[in-house]
Amino acid sequence: MQRFKDKYALITGGTNGMGFATARQFIHEGGKVIITGRSAETVNNAVYRLGTNASGIVSNAGNMKDVLLLQEQVKQYSDSIDVLFVNAGYGKFASVEATDEALFDELFNTLVKGPFFTVQQILPLMKKGSTIVFNTSMVTGMGMQNFAVYSAAKSAVQSFIKTFAAEFTEKGILG
């Protein structure tokens, strides 16, 4: 199946888990991928395992310096992105009493600021018919112990999804 022939996907957090599996499937269906990850070793290893239709960028979604360089780094491989999969992130969990400002900021930088500014950086490379996909979580509709900050961050992403869908409709970019 070649439904992604001549298409480029940028997959943040593409070195393992869902991101890596998505990259592998996109390539299997004829596409090319650019993955990001936090370390050169994991990025290089993932690109090697994915093969010749994969490229990699060392970029930490929780580091604004990295995120703000993403557009220029992506342009080294492609002038346009057809699919943006905003997947980078992880969970850290603590009770309200045990949550400190450092944990709060770490999660919001990675799970809220990173996705927002990733979209902002890549949007100029997206054309009519391109798509933005976010990795979010079912915890946003539940109240779970030790998930206050993580759930709030993922809820913010769900709000972005709705806002971006409304804002990008005129551009023909699907969310």
pLDDT score at 148: 95
Q: What is the rounded distance in angstroms from the CA atom of residue 11 to the CA atom of residue 35? A: 5
Distances (CA, A) of 21 to 14, 43, 134: 8, 14, 15
* ∠ Cα 12 18 169 (to 5°): 55
Q: What is the pTM of this model?
A: 0.94
| pLDDT tens over the chain, length 175 residues | 799 999 999 999 999 999 999 999 999 999 999 999 999 999 999 999 999 999 999 999 999 999 999 999 999 999 999 999 999 999 999 999 999 999 999 999 999 999 999 999 999 999 999 999 999 988 878 888 999 999 999 999 999 999 999 999 999 998 6
Q: Which among 48, 77, 90, 150 is annotated as catalytic? A: 150
Per DSSP, helices labelled H in 7-96 are 17-28, 40-50, 64-75
Beta strands in the chain (DSSP E): 8-11, 32-37, 54-58, 83-86, 131-134
Q: Is 90 part of the annotated catalytic residue set?
A: no
- The CATH superfamily assigned to 8-171 is NAD(P)-binding Rossmann-like Domain (3.40.50.720)
